[in-house]
Amino acid sequence: GEIKELNVNGVFIEIGFDPPTDFARNNGIEVDSNGYIKVDEWMRTNVPGVYAAGDCTNMWLGFRQIITAVAQGGVAATSAYRYLTEKKGKK
């Protein structure tokens, strides 16, 4: 192989993995062909009231970094709060 020196300010290392989403599949939550939990832009799964965020989801597949996982967590938390608030208001 060729050794090459690069002048960079930083490096992101991705180890890659198969997402551990058997629990989702076993509970009726849809996953894609690669095993990632399917979510919409509000991090909702196909099961009402169930949300997913981070590296286990099919959202932003090219950006497996902590900052995107945290952002997804924020969206999921807000979505869950809205879901529970709306559900409580209907009683």
Q: The domain that contains 40 carries what CATH number?
A: 3.50.50.60
- For residue 58, being part of any structural domain is answered with yes
Burial profile 5-21: b = 16 or more Cβ within 10 angstroms, e = fewer: eeeeeeeeeeeeeebeb
Look up residue 58 and give its amino acid.
N
**pLDDT for 50:** 95
- Structural domains counted in the chain: 1
In this predicted structure, the answer to whether residue 8 has a pLDDT above a threshold of 90 is: no
pLDDT mean over 15-40:
89
Q: Which domain holds residue 83?
A: 22-89
In this predicted structure, the answer to whether residue 61 has a pLDDT above a threshold of 90 is: no
In this predicted structure, the answer to whether residue 15 has a pLDDT above a threshold of 70 is: no
